[in-house]
Structure 1
């Protein structure tokens, strides 16, 4: 089950990985879009930077099934950016009591035409 504590841990890992990227032209990137809505029953946020990084996320707090005060946080979202060689990468994910399920696309998605 994905609890609030587990979600915070996943977020901390994501931030530490993002901070480990070497400084280059991305260090000058500006935030061009930012929305954040925190509610008692969940949250949503999205942002975009001038160097093409995009992130969206929605979380919904739901009652748990194990303990009287247990709660679950169901989350879905996506993020995308360019790898160091310029290759685009995107991840869509769902995180529920059934686990974290990402879908990763590296490179351009193939279209039906040639």
Structure 2
């Protein structure tokens, strides 16, 4: 059986590829960070986007008018319906996609009725 000779430059090439990938990731982070700083006006949104970058999540900032309009159209299309038989759970900025039936109204007749149940 014939032995395969590994190229001595193979390890160097792998290391250089790793360094190159690291540089590309750093360039992406830097350009995204600059885009967030320049394009995002709301400070709370900036903080959230920078936190996402630090966690290693992909963030894309596109401030073209057409992109913003298309995003608004999409969000309006997937916005939850307003229904009388469901109550929206969450805050104003979370999207409101969790909706549950409201809890039943409990009418107590006397003060002592609670103590008898426990």
- For the aligned pair, the TM-score class normalised by the smaller chain equals under 0.3
Higher normalized helix content (fraction of residues): 2
Bigger RCO of structures 1 and 2 (CA < 8 A, at least 6 apart) = 1
State which structure, 1 or 2, has the greater radius of gyration over its C-alpha atoms. 2
TM-score by length of 2: 0.27
Q: What TM-score do you get using the length of structure 1 for normalisation?
A: 0.28
